[in-house]
Each structure stands twice: as structure tokens, then as C-alpha cells.
Amino acid sequence: MTELREPVRQDKWEQPRAAAIETSAPIALSPRKAAILDHADRFAETRAIWRDQAAFFHAEDERYLRFLIPPGSRVLEIGCGIGDTLAALAPSYGVGIDISSRQIAIARDRHPDLTFIAGDVENPATFMAVSGPFDVILVLDTIGSLDDCQGFIEHLHPLCTRETRLVIGHFSHLWYPLLKAAEAMGLRMAQPDQNVLSPADLRNLAVLADFDPVKSEQRVLSPLRLAGVGRFANRFLSVLPGLRVLSLRHYVVARSMRCVSDDVRSATVVIPARNERGNIAPAVQRIAAFCKDIEIIFIEGHSKDGTYEEMERVRAAFPDHDIKLMRQPGKGKADAVFTAFDAARGDVLMILDADLTMPPEQLPKFFEALRSGKGEFVNGSRLVYPMDEGAMRFLNLIANKTFSYLFSWLLNQRYTDTLCGTKVLRRSDYVRLKAGKAYFGDFDPFGDFDLIFGASKLNLKTIDLPIRYAARSYGETQISRFRHGWMLLKMVVFAFFKIKAI
């Protein structure tokens, strides 16, 4: 968790377990809502039996939810039923809300370590009984039963911080006839008529309620095991372009725009450098004063041209700048960047490649994009504006565009250039990213994909910031087209199994 939130967790966020909470006096329910409540109460005693009958589907659903929601999170589930999904997420503090007091009573018996509240989630008074904020607010299928989806989503802002993610899961409207047929045949628990929402409808409702969609996904082609065929189809086929639109399950992840904070006051510019002696002084000279407190960390990578000695000279020549020097302990850009990030003190962490092909004059744009809340992970893109002659070889350009398409699909966020060296994020988010690094392991010698994959796993809002890519004025490129191209292909496969085929 971030440094800003830890003190709050120790005091305000410590909550009693298994509280038997009821909301204040209910407001009158609409006829449709009253029918939904009656239905939930009538099926409360048999809900566990129906859930067991659909065990494969729920296992597939929870598999992806556990990818989105790490264990130990503070989770609020709205429309929790008997609490089994909430329990499966292993929250450090879990709260479930459901309109049916009968289902809530069963949930308390099944999961005494969690907190459950009976109430109508479209009644603002219901949330007065909830002690937030939460890391994740989960809404599974309940969105289909609401009278006013936009109004409901707007009620969630007080339970959010900048880091909170709203996760909404719902059934595809394309499957509605099949689901109704399954109910008629007794293969699925009967359901009241639901709102018909496409992924685009749900994203639009989120925007209207001041939530910013971060990413969306479609999964689950088969709700049945089918002797192992269902698992294969859901893991490998349901995520493929063309087939994914046929998936049963849709998910949207969003963040509260009312909780966006511009509290960053300082920045650290990390400049990894190997055999870049001629670029050290220009780097310092060309970094504008885009905030009042800028730390510059040069980290040298076993150079043979006197780069470190030049760093020492430049630091002495600019005593009014906060310049720190480091020597990386290992090899590769990833080792250099993360060693410097661990030592950085700035609220914002920025990477500037020492070849200066990303002009340092562009750094203020990156800082402002993050400070304003427009993005939480700001990725430079060299492939929008025309480049200087000789800035990038033709084969490199084709490879970069190809990999950008692949990674945009893999990560469910748009990337026009994954290999631009300049990437910017908050230090607090880097701390969370590093804490979850074990999921991916040590796989990336570049460092770019450690950050990209980590930001995706944290569900950070990624934006591409176009830059004008310049030709080198000193030194030679340290990128090998074929060796590094092969490594990128391996990363595509790696990402597919870690992010898509789960």
C-alpha cells in the first residue's frame, strides 16, 4: 500500500469483523425493485445449491477476478448474495451488501470473518453504514437489477480514493436468449428481467457518473466444463480478437475522477547511462524547471568512455541542481532503472534515456499529464510525429508498430510505442508495483515491460504521450534489432500466459 494510506489503515481503517449491520429505515421500493427483493428472498435458501450446480462458471469468473483484485485488498462487494465470491477473493477487510436480508443472514453464517449489510444500494442511506474507503468496489451482475445505474455509480465516490478501482462484471446481452432458455429448462436459477447493457453502454454510464474507464475485457465462451474443453476455450479462445465479442462475461474497470489528486510536489528524473559521456551535460542543461523540486539521478552502467567521470564533473559544474550519482550493481537497463527508483525521493518518477533521443524539453508534458490526473502511467510514443532522419531504422519501426498492436490487445489499453524509454509514474504506485512483482518475476532486461505489465496488473490508467523522436548526437545505439526482437517475441508469449490466458 502507498505511504499516504498506511497511517490511515492503522487507525481509521481497522474494522470489527462479522458485524451484523442493518441500514437505516428503508425508502419505498419501486415495483420492480420490490419484485427483485421478493425473488431474492424466495431463492435465498436454495442459492448455495444453484451456485454449486454452476460451480465451473463461478470458478472461471473468480479466476479472473482474482487476477484483477490481489489478495489482502479492502473489498466492498455490492450485490454479494451469500458472500461466496467475496470470500474467494481473500480480502483483508471484506464488506458485502445485498438487498435481501435472508441472503445476508446466510452470508454471515457461511463467512463469519466478513462484514455484511442488508440494504438497497440505490438508497444513499445504505452506504452510511459502510466504513470506507476501499481498494476495490466490486459489482457483479447487480448492475442489471438497478433502476438508475448512473445514480448508483455516483453514490460510490465517497468510498473511493485515487487508488480505488470499481470492477463491474455482467452478462453479455448476446447471451440473454440462451440464459433464459437455460432457466426455462431448470438448468439455471430463474432471474428477474435485467437491464440490457453492452460494454459501450456501461463505459458511457461510468463516464456520466464521473468514473473513468481504465480497461475492459470479455471472457468465458463456455459456462460448462465439457470434459476440459470449457477450460481450454475460456483460457485460450475467449480472449482472441473476433471470438472475444461472443464471450458470456464482460468486465469494466474504472476509477473515480472526483478522487483524482494533484498532490505531487517533486520529481526524480532517472538517467541510466552507459558510454554516454557526451550527453551528460546536455541532459542537465535541457531539463526545464517543470516543478520546484527536481532530483536528477545519473546511474552509470559500466561504461568505458569516462561517463562516470563526466557525471562527477557535471555535478560539480551545476551546484544549484540536486544531482546524485550511482553505479548500477548489475547489468541491463532494468537493473539500472529500478536501483535508481529505489533510491529516489521524488513524488513522481521519470525515466530519461541518456541518448536524448527523447528531448528532455518534453518532460514538463509528462509531469503535467500525471499531476492533472489524466494518466497514472504516462508512456512516451515516438511513432506519432515524423522522426528526424536516421532516428529509427525501418525494420525497427515496423517491429515497434507490430509489437504495439500486440501489447494493446494483451493489456486492454492502447499502446502506440512500448519501447520508448520515457515512462512516468508516481513513486507510491511504483512501491505497489514492486510489491506485486513476484507475479511476473524477473523476466525483462529492458525494464520497460516490468513497468508496463506492472501498471496493467495494478489497473493504472495508461496514456500515450506523443514525442518528437530525435537522432543521436553522440554515441551509438545499444539495441540489437534481431537479438532484442527475439526477446520481444518471447515477452509477447510471456504476457499472453500471464495476462490473457489465465
Q: Is the pLDDT of residue 459 over 50?
A: yes
Q: What is the pTM of this model?
A: 0.89
Q: Is the pLDDT of residue 441 over 90?
A: no
pLDDT of amino acid 329 = 94
Q: Is the pLDDT of residue 386 over 80?
A: no
pLDDT of amino acid 470 = 73
pLDDT of amino acid 471 = 64
The half-sphere exposure of 498 on its side-chain side, counting CA atoms within 13 A, is 21
| pLDDT mean across residues, the chain | 89
Burial class (CB in 10 A: 0-12, 13-18, 19+), 314: buried
Judge contact between 94 and 114, C-beta under 8 A. yes
At residue 65, the 3 state secondary structure works out as helix
Averaged pLDDT, 340-354: 97
The percentage of residues in the chain with a pLDDT greater than 70, rounded to a whole number, is: 88
Q: How far apart are CA 447 and CA 442, in angstroms?
A: 10
Q: Which residue has the higher pLDDT, 218 or 27?
A: 218
Averaged pLDDT, 236-240: 95
Q: Is the pLDDT of residue 374 over 60?
A: yes
At residue 162, the 3 state secondary structure works out as coil
Q: Which residue has the higher pLDDT, 55 or 22?
A: 55
pLDDT of amino acid 10 = 36
Handedness of CA 44, 46, 48, 50 (dihedral sign): negative
Q: How far apart are CA 349 and CA 367, in angstroms?
A: 9
pLDDT of amino acid 390 = 53
User: What is the number of residues in the chain?
Assistant: 502
Q: Is the pLDDT of residue 456 over 50?
A: yes
Q: Is the pLDDT of residue 52 over 60?
A: yes
pLDDT of amino acid 24 = 45
Q: How far apart are CA 26 and CA 128, in angstroms?
A: 12
Q: Is the pLDDT of residue 384 over 80?
A: no
Q: How far apart are CA 348 and CA 357, in angstroms?
A: 21
Q: Is the pLDDT of residue 19 over 70?
A: no
Q: Which residue has the higher pLDDT, 230 or 331?
A: 230
Q: How far apart are CA 195 and CA 171, in angstroms?
A: 10
Structure confidence by residue, pLDDT tens digits, 191-203: 888 898 899 999 9
Judge contact between 107 and 115, C-beta under 8 A. no
pLDDT of amino acid 133 = 96
Q: Is the pLDDT of residue 385 over 80?
A: no
Judge contact between 439 and 453, C-beta under 8 A. no
Containing 369, the helix (H) or strand (E) segment is helix 363-371
For the CA atoms of 423, 428, 430, 433, what is the dihedral angle to 10 degrees? -130
Structure confidence by residue, pLDDT tens digits, 264-290: 999 999 999 999 999 999 999 999 999
Q: Which of 19-33, 179-193, 324-338 has the weakest average pLDDT?
A: 19-33
Q: Is the pLDDT of residue 495 over 70?
A: yes
> 3-state secondary structure string, 86-101?
HHHCCCCEEEEEECCH
Structure confidence by residue, pLDDT tens digits, 79-93: 999 999 999 999 999
The half-sphere exposure of 104 on its side-chain side, counting CA atoms within 13 A, is 23
Q: pLDDT band for position 5 (50/70/90)?
A: very low
pLDDT of amino acid 361 = 95
pLDDT of amino acid 1 = 34
Q: Is the pLDDT of residue 478 over 60?
A: no
Structure confidence by residue, pLDDT tens digits, 388-403: 555 555 566 677 778 8
At residue 299, the 3 state secondary structure works out as strand
pLDDT of amino acid 486 = 78
